[in-house]
Structure 1
Amino acid sequence: MKIILTGDRPTGPLHLGHYIGSLLNRVQLQDTCTQFVMIADAQALTDHAKESTKVRENILEVALDYLAVGIDPEKTTICIQSLLPELFELTSYYLNLVTWNRLKHNPTVKAEIKQKGFGEAVPAGFMVYPVSQAADITAFKANLVPVGEDQLPMIEQTNEIVRHFNQTYKKEVLVRAEALLPKMARLPGTDGGMKMSKTLGNCIYLSDPPDVIQKKVMKMFTDPGHIRVEDPGKVEGNPVFTYLDTFDTNTEKVQELKDHYQKGGLGDVIVKRYLNEVLQAFLKPIRKKREEYAKDTAGVMEILKKGTEKARLTTVKTLSDVRSAMGIDYF
């Protein structure tokens, strides 16, 4: 059976991009795989060190989103990263197997440093987070890791560490990981940006109330050349139609709208109103389920506590194997 490790940084509630990019996969895979889902609070602190209270609060928000979309704690182990001390010890050992130059040239790290505007003031913890991720993955001996395409360099670096460790200590302790890419690479932001991002403020959150969803939809970017209703419009690169393709099960209706829009005579407002109906119908049951779980936050935290305790049974065993291979199991 495949072992999966995946997770999210608790920097805010989850959005539709998360649903399409990873959450849907997790719900589907939990019936056929051993799955661990980690709330990566320690990783969130690498660039939110001064916002630890916010990170703490968002652990519950992320957990509520998990449960609301159908991640079942009876099938999936949900755990909190900072409460698994073995991960930090593994990271310290792996750091000795990776050069600083290699870390600096990790494409994902370079792109995120630029996006976050760190300049020369990059936190050291942020620079080494690919090694921390390798510790997360290998601690569970995960051989399948759902990631977006932009995270592929992280899997590559993890497998470099796996290979280097096993060769250095002449024992096959760590397991190579395979990336599992989502069917849809990424959901564009409401502003037409390449991806939906909390940082960019172009998200529709799973927990957004109906009026907020409507406002966001009606302000969505469309075809800038579609000025008048009678003008032919472009469907490609138009996020309104991308969302309809993704969330509307009535494919015939969507195709009719596309044909009409491309021919001319269909205004953006009409299409957006229809998209709003589609998203409201999609998100209503998720929001309702989330509200039910939110009535018992102590119960949700108990799920995380039990999941973390269960996860530690695995991470403790892996650390023991690693220490034994290194010859530092002294007693």
Structure 2
Amino acid sequence: MSEKKRILSGMRPTGPLHLGHYFGVIANWINLQDEYDCYFFVADWHALTSEYADSSRIKGFVPGLVQDWLAAGIDPEKCVVFQQSMIKEHAELFLILSMVTPLGWLERNPTWKEQREQLTNKDIHTHGFLGYPVLQAADILMYLPDAVPVGKDQLPHLELNREIARRFNHIFGRDFFPEPKDLLTEEAKLPGLDGRKMSKSYGNAIGLSEDMDTIVPKVRGMLTDENRKRKADPGDPSICNLFPYHKLMTDPARLPEIEAGCRDASWGCVDCKKLLLESLEKFLAPIQERRKSLDEDTLADILNEGNKKARAYAQDTMQQVREIIGFDF
């Protein structure tokens, strides 16, 4: 039996996860964990790049992020779940890769340009923010992965990662770091309650840990097809903010009924929202039940075990890197 190919991905601890996180990232991780040797990490150092002014909050978000992962279905028996900052070798490799990464590569990074324009409430004109793609490369290359699960918007980041790997290998004359392939995943994007991107900062998200008393008023106030001024007005599910939720969480056998009811106005938006609330409750109940069973000690044990496995791999990689660059003092 052939050995599983290794993949790696991470997520910043910036607060409780919502449905957008689940369908955009976590659901894919869950599907991959049976097929690949998965390394999933809490990217707390990455959170510092934009949250350094209030860094104490990050510590509190770390266990909650892992709790959300496990409650959603990530299995620590199948994956290595670890915390970035607990593997100090990441910082060492970041330093070494920083020495060989041209400044121009980082300045051309489209995300860096976009974030400078969008995050006007934060000072991100820092070396750490400019250099975060190098830290990202260190995170990935440390575990010599075959592939990285990404969405289309992340492809430029992964290509920069490969460029850094190629440059390191060329400078030191060793074909050591792999050029990980993109494991392009189909993202089931879920809009926010108001039609914009789902985000905690917009206040338009449904959290995985929220109770139904909190969710009900949110759903009742959701944006729907603006052309339906009255119940008798026909609608178009393809432009309604509710229908993507039904496609992901409602019994597929009900979808034709929902579509037809919207188009011929035999269903009103209130009917549609009532069914969505039933679907949400059914979807979230097992996640929240698992979440309650994960106490602080259990989470600490899982992270400690994952950190131990990741550290062992990282130490081996860095021993080889030091030998390659002549720093094996």
Q: What displacement does 1:7 show?
A: 1.6
Q: Which amino acid aligns with 1:89?
A: E
**Aligned 1:234-245 pairs, distance under 5 A:** 234-245=236-247
| Amino acid across the alignment from 1:254 | L
Asked if residue 50 in structure 1 is aligned to residue 53 in structure 2, the reply is: yes
Pairs aligned (count):
326
- Structure 2 distance, partners of 1:326, 1:173, is 11
Deviation of the 1:210 alpha carbon = 1.2
> 2:195 aligned with 1:192, yes or no?
yes
CA distance in 1, matches of 2:185, 2:245: 16
Residue 304 of structure 1: aligned partner = 303
Tell me if the contact between 1:108 and 1:153 (Cα under 8 Å) persists in the aligned partners.
Answer: no
In the other structure, the counterpart of 2:323 is: 324
Matched to 1:175, the amino acid is P
The residue aligned with 2:67 is: 64
Whole-Å separation in 2 of the counterparts to 1:309 and 1:263: 59
Q: Aligned ranges for residues 242-321 of structure 1 at < 5 Å?
A: 242-248=244-250, 250-293=251-294, 296-321=295-320
Q: Normalised by the size of structure 2, how large is the TM-score? A: 0.94
The 3-state SS of whatever aligns with 1:48 is: helix
* Structure 2 counterparts to residues 102-121 of structure 1, below 5 A: 102-117=105-120, 121=124
Contact conserved, 1:22 with 1:146, CA < 8 A, in 2?
Answer: no
Q: Distance in 1 between matches of 2:219 and 2:126?
A: 36
CA positional deviation for 1:140: 0.9
The alignment-based identity, stated in percent, is 38
Is the partner of 2:280 in helix, strand or coil? helix
**Contact persistence 2:50–2:124 (CA under 8 A):** no
| 313-322 vs 117-126, greater mean Cα deviation | 117-126
RMSD of aligned residue pairs (Cα, Å)? 1.6
SS, match of residue 199 in structure 1: helix
Residue in structure 2 matched with residue 131 of structure 1 by the alignment: 134
- CA shift, 1:264, in A, is 2.5
Distance 1:115 1:142 in 2: 32
Q: Of 6, 9, 13, which residue of structure 1 is paired with 2:9?
A: 6
Q: Assess if the C-alpha contact under 8 Å between 1:47 and 1:123 holds in 2.
A: no
Instruction: List structure 1 segments (4+ residues) > 3 angstroms apart after TM superposition.
Output: 118-121
Alignment equivalent of 1:99, drawn from 91, 97, 102? 102
Post-superposition Cα deviations, 1:83-128, rounded to whole Å, max 9, x if no partner, equal 1111111111111222222212211222233332268752321111
**Which deviates more from structure 2 when the two are superposed, residues 75-84 or residues 232-241?**
232-241
**Structure 2 residue corresponding to 1:173, chosen from 170, 173, 176:** 176
Structure 2: segments with no counterpart, 5+ residues: none
User: In the aligned structure 2, how far is the partner of 1:215 from the partner of 1:133?
Assistant: 39
Contact 1:231–1:265 (CA under 8 A) maintained in structure 2: no
C-alpha distance after superposition, 1:53-86 (max 9, x if no partner): 2111110110111111121111111111111111
SS of match in other structure, 2:7 = strand
Does the aligned pair in 2 maintain the 1:108–1:150 contact within 8 Å? no
**1:181 CA drift (Å):** 3.0
Distance 1:200 1:138 in 2: 34
Amino acid at match of 2:239: G
SS in 2 for 1:146: strand
**Structure 2 residue aligned with 1:82:** 85
Q: Given residue 43 of structure 1, which amino acid in structure 2 is its aligned partner?
A: H
The worse-fitting range, judged by mean Cα deviation, of 104-113 and 238-247 is 104-113
Segment drifting more, 158-167 vs 254-263: 254-263
- In 2, the alpha carbon distance for the partners of 1:181 and 1:238 equals 27
Q: Which residue of 1 aligns with 2:211?
A: 209
SS of the aligned residue for 1:6 comes to strand
Alpha-carbon distance between aligned partners in 2 of 1:181 and 1:192, rounded to the nearest angstrom: 25
Is contact 2:146–2:178 with CA below 8 Å preserved after alignment?
A: yes
Question: Hey, what's the Cα distance between the residues in 2 that align with 1:119 and 1:100?
Answer: 22
2:50 touches 2:122 (CA, 8 Å); kept in 1?
Answer: no
Query: Which runs of 5 or more residues in structure 1 are unaligned?
Result: none
Q: Is the 8 A contact 2:223 2:242 kept in 1?
A: yes
